[in-house]
Structures are given as structure tokens and as C-alpha cells.
Amino acid sequence: MRKKYKRWNWKHRCGWELPGSTAQPIRILQVYLLPVLRRRSRPVSVYSDFFQLLCGTVVKDGVEGICRVWILWHPLILLYKYSTVEAVLRSSTNIEKAFQYDLLRPWLRDGLVTSSGNKWKTRRKLLTPSFHFRILDSFVPVFNKQSRILLKKLKLMDGKDIDITSMVTLCTLDIICETAMGVNIGAQTDSESPYAKALHKLGESFMTRLMRPWLWSDFIYNRTSLSKDFHENLLIMSQFTKKVINKRKNELLETKFQSSGDVLNFKKARYIKRSQGAFLDLLLYYHNEAKAFSEEDIQNEVDNFMFAGHDTTAAGISWTLYLIGQNEHVQEKLHEELYNIFGNDTERPITKDDVRKMSYMECVILESQRLYPSAPIIARNIKEDVYVNGKTIPVGSTCVIFIYMLHRDPEVFQNPEKFDPDRFLPENSLGRHPFSFIPFSAGPRNCIGQKFAMIEEKIVIANLLRHFRVKSPQPRDTINLVAQMVLRADQPIKIKFTSKLHAKMVKE
């Protein structure tokens, strides 16, 4: 007990020594806790106010890329310059996610997102082959198919302002289901899909609990109606995933799993030959042949990929389309690049070679991720003291890597609020510090699916721009940002899609 107290005292003393206002606990109560307790503010407003509080704290109280803010009795150490961020992210010891991620454990259990230590390192090594470039190339037909469904839906609303995020989210959900599990749940054609609805409600439940510290206690939370709803939706998803896993397992066993050619020898070839269900097939290979995964482990990892693989790409696509619609000259360059690749053929499916030619498209996506990173904040538990700028971040602290503010460092990105894809041209990226731009995190625990996400976003956006011109009627300064599971707007992002033929006739 005495040793614990010394460690607790040391952590808090270091917390007070770091830059930060002494009035922060009062501001946290005003902006964050009291509105929730009194229920006088919409949840999305509370999230937005808290996010703005963190941004304001960095601007006002931060010194050389480090700042301290208090959540009740717990200090959060905000890091927002590459020199301080690198010290944490490069570490092979400080790879444990912050305690807030424990709130996801009933859902994700010990999967790749929430696990740590040797278990995480072993899993990461085993799962990396499922993102081999040959496997990613095999997903291109799925990206094409699902984006064409989205395209057909948008054609029915030609010239109307629509909420793009909700439509894109259903598209990316169909994509991740088909690529990770090999099944099409038809979320785009049936928005009432039980699995899609349960996944959405689970995300909302998590954010509601996260923003109410008194519900962090399992003892209190498990006695609320919120917990009941959470577990009901979790059961729907769990039953669906189990059904898919058992069906695919039986199929592979019936076709003599290893000798059938469905899965090649991973020690030599290290990729899956099948074009669908590759991730699930890899897990089943480790389950049936290598005995490295139980059925529960398989379900954990599938759930982790479903959690991490649809909302993040949906946010990335939505923000990119929004910014394209705000910048006509960027849109013109994109249409020119797509014309050089496809000519006037708007129906030919996009190939892997086409994707590699979309160099300016990649710059646009990267600049969108700079301004609106899908994960604006990531957090780590500190397991080994970190020393930055002469300050000690002690064991037991929670470090928040503030990606949103990191990407706005004027020392790295001049005029940081300006949308300028040319920043990411090869000649303009030379010499830029690798930890100054980290939309997919960095270091040993970077996002395993970042190449998957880039290919998916390129194909979805390209298929839309081959048919439409886009216009975003909402100025950027009218949109407040909300840090939920991904970075969202506090209102629907409205975009007008006008068919190119119609737009040309109007212009003439």
C-alpha cells in the first residue's frame, strides 16, 4: 500500500510540474461534467465542447509540445509536437492502450486493438500476412462493387444536398464485412440490417459511457439500462459472427483445408489465394493447422477488424469529399488525373494498376487526413518513465497523442488551416519528420490496415468523381468538430452531387 501511494504521489507531483493551468479541473467541470449531470446539453454538444477545451488548453497552456490537463483526479499528458510524440510512440515498452480502452473489452476482449505485451506482439506478427499487397489487390473487386452500389444510390439524388457520412458508412461496413468475413450483409440496400444497427448502437453506447466517468466502474455501469442495451446489441453481433465463422470453418474442412489450394503454405508464400474472406481464412488456418487460435480468438479478431475498419475509412472518405467540394481547383486537378487514367469511360472497373496511378488523389487524401484525422486522439498507459524536454512523464500516467493538433504544427505545415494537397508531393515531403504526420499512428503499434484504407478510399472516391462534380455548401468555420470514436462534425456533412453531364449542360 505504501509503495502504491508513493507511486501515486510521484505521478501526481510530476503532473503538476508539467505545463498546464491550475484552473483546468474547474473548466472540466463546467464544460464536461455539469452539462452531462444536468442533462441540459445534447451529448454531441458535450463532446464538441470537451474537444474544443483540449484544443484551447494546448494553445493557451502548452509549452514545447507538452501540456497537462486533469480529468477528475487523473492527469492526462497531452503531446502534440513530433519531438514529444516520438518519445512515446517509438517505445517498444509503452505500447499499452490507455485505461479508457478497457471499456471496450466486453466487445473486443483481447483482440489486436485492446491487447498488449507479448500477446499483442505475437498476434500482430501472425496477422500481418493478411495485409500483404497481393491480398489487398484481391480486394479491389469488392471495393469496386460496393462503391458502385453507393454510386447508384447517389444518382437517385442528383443535385440534392445529402448527408454523405451516413451513406458512406453503410458502404464501408459492407466492404469490411465482405473482405474480413467473406459475407455481404447488404447494409447499403437494407439499412435496417440487424448487424448494422447493433454495430451502430454499440458505438453510441461506448461513447456515452466514456463521457460519464461515474460509469467507468463496472459495478455501477452493470446496474444501468445502458449496460443492458449494450449487451443486447453485443449478443446480436456475437451470434452473427459465430454463425459466419462456423459456416466458413465447415466449408474449409469439407474441401480438405490445406490441400485444396484455398490457403497456400504461409511459411513460404505468406498470402491467401482466395479473393474473399482472406482475413477469416487466415485465422481459420491458424486455428485448424497451427493450433494458434481458438474459436474465441478468431471471433475476437474479427470483431476488432469490424470495429476498426469501417468507421475510420468512412470518416476519411467523407471528410475528403467535403474538402474536395470546398476547393474547385483541387477538384479540377482530380478530374484531370482521372481522365488521364480512364478517358471518358466511366464504367470500367478500377484496377490495382489504376490505383497506383492516382498520385494526386493520394495527396488529396493525405491532406484531408492531416486536417481531419479519423483518429484525432490516441492514448497510451506509460509503463516506463519517459523523458521529454527535461520533464519526466512517470509510470502510471496516461499520455494522449493529440494527432489533430500535431498536424497543425506551424513549424512543419505553414498556414496549417489551409487545405493544400501539394504539401504531400514528393518534392515537398522531403525532410519532413516522420512523426509530424501520423494519421494511422506510428511506431511499433501503428495501424495494421493503413494500406487497406488508402486503396479503399481511392477507389470509392474515384468511382464517385468519375460520374459527379461535388459541392460542399457548409463553410469550414461553421462546422464544430466532435471527437467520438472517430472525428465527426456536430451536424450532418452536406454535399451536393451533380452528374458531370448535367453540370456541363448548366455551365453551357
Task: Tell me what pLDDT residue 32 has.
Answer: 54
3-state secondary structure 165-200: HHHHHHHHHHHHHHHHCCCCCCCCCCCCCHHHHHHH
Q: How confident is residue 354, by pLDDT bands cut at 50, 70 and 90?
A: very high
Task: Tell me what pLDDT residue 314 has.
Answer: 95
Backbone φ and ψ of 125, nearest 5°:
-65, -40
* Position 150 pLDDT exceeds 90: yes
Task: Tell me what pLDDT residue 190 has.
Answer: 82
172 vs 244, higher pLDDT: 172
472 neighbors 480 (Cβ within 8 angstroms) = no
165 neighbors 315 (Cβ within 8 angstroms) = yes
DSSP, collapsed to helix, strand or coil, labels residue 162 as: strand
Task: Tell me what pLDDT residue 256 has.
Answer: 52
Task: List, for residues 28-77, the tens digit of each pLDDT value.
Answer: 555 555 555 555 445 566 677 778 888 888 888 778 888 888 776 677 88
| Other beta carbons less than 10 A from residue 99's beta carbon | 12
Task: Tell me what pLDDT residue 112 has.
Answer: 87
> In the structure grid, which three cell numbers stand for residue 111, read together?
483482440
Classify strands 391-393 and 481-483 as parallel, antiparallel or unpaired.
Answer: unpaired
The mean pLDDT of 19-29, rounded to a whole number, is 57
Alpha carbon dihedral 311, 241, 205, 314, in 10-degree steps, equals 10
Q: How far is the C-alpha of 227 from the C-alpha of 221, rounded, in Å?
A: 6
Residue at 297 is within a domain? no
| CATH number, position 97 | 3.30.43.20
Task: Tell me what pLDDT residue 463 has.
Answer: 97
Residue at 403 is within a domain? yes
| Other beta carbons less than 10 A from residue 39's beta carbon | 8
Which of 285-299, 411-425, 492-506 is modeled with the greatest confidence? 411-425
Residue at 382 is within a domain? yes
* Position 257 pLDDT exceeds 50: no
282 vs 234, higher pLDDT: 234
Task: Tell me what pLDDT residue 260 has.
Answer: 44
Q: Mention every residue, 6+ apart, whose C-beta is less than 8 A from residue 505.
A: none
> In the structure grid, which three cell numbers stand for residue 356, read together?
497506383
Range in 227-241, 275-289, 380-394 with the lowest mean pLDDT:
275-289
The mean pLDDT of 481-506, rounded to a whole number, is 78
* Position 182 pLDDT exceeds 80: yes
- Region of residue 425 (left: phi > 0; alpha: psi -120 to 50; beta: else): beta
Q: Cell 468507421 identifies what position? A: 311
Share of the chain above pLDDT 90, in %: 43
417 neighbors 409 (Cβ within 8 angstroms) = no
Domain encompassing residue 385: 2-106+377-414
262 vs 86, higher pLDDT: 86
Q: Cell 506551424 identifies what position? A: 410
Residue at 100 is within a domain? yes
Task: Tell me what pLDDT residue 505 has.
Answer: 38
Q: How far is the C-alpha of 307 from the C-alpha of 441, rounded, in Å?
A: 17
Q: How many domains does the chain have?
A: 1
Which of 202-211, 255-264, 380-389, 459-468 is modeled with the greatest confidence? 459-468
* Position 85 pLDDT exceeds 70: yes
* Position 262 pLDDT exceeds 50: no
Task: Tell me what pLDDT residue 485 has.
Answer: 82
In 3D space, the residue among 84, 101, 55 whose CA is nearest the CA of residue 376 turns out to be 55
Q: Mention every residue, 6+ apart, whose C-beta is less than 8 A from residue 189.
A: 149
Could you tell me how far CA 442 lies from the centroid of its own chain? Answer: 14
The mean pLDDT of 280-296, rounded to a whole number, is 80
Task: Tell me what pLDDT residue 11 has.
Answer: 54
Residue at 338 is within a domain? no
Residue at 82 is within a domain? yes
Q: How confident is residue 250, by pLDDT bands cut at 50, 70 and 90?
A: confident
List of long-range contacts for 330-336, beta carbons under 8 Å, 24+ apart: 330/364, 330/419, 330/421, 331/465, 331/469, 331/470, 333/360, 334/360, 334/361, 334/364, 334/465, 335/465, 335/469
Task: Tell me what pLDDT residue 333 has.
Answer: 97
DSSP, collapsed to helix, strand or coil, labels residue 379 as: strand
The mean pLDDT of 247-276, rounded to a whole number, is 53
The mean pLDDT of 195-214, rounded to a whole number, is 83
Q: How confident is residue 246, by pLDDT bands cut at 50, 70 and 90?
A: confident
Alpha carbon separation from 255 to 252, 262, 265, 468 (Å, rounded): 5, 9, 16, 45
359 vs 309, higher pLDDT: 359
Mean pLDDT of the chain: 83
Residue at 49 is within a domain? yes
* Position 269 pLDDT exceeds 50: no
The mean pLDDT of 166-195, rounded to a whole number, is 88
Residue at 29 is within a domain? yes
Range in 52-56, 258-262, 439-443 with the lowest mean pLDDT:
258-262
| Other beta carbons less than 10 A from residue 97's beta carbon | 19
Task: Tell me what pLDDT residue 15 has.
Answer: 60
* Position 234 pLDDT exceeds 50: yes
Q: Mention every residue, 6+ apart, whose C-beta is less than 8 A from residue 257.
A: 263, 284, 285, 288, 289
* Position 472 pLDDT exceeds 90: yes
The mean pLDDT of 237-256, rounded to a whole number, is 81
82 neighbors 66 (Cβ within 8 angstroms) = no
Q: DSSP strand E in 26-114: where? A: 66-71, 74-79
DSSP, collapsed to helix, strand or coil, labels residue 117 as: helix
Task: Tell me what pLDDT residue 34 has.
Answer: 54
| Other beta carbons less than 10 A from residue 215's beta carbon | 17
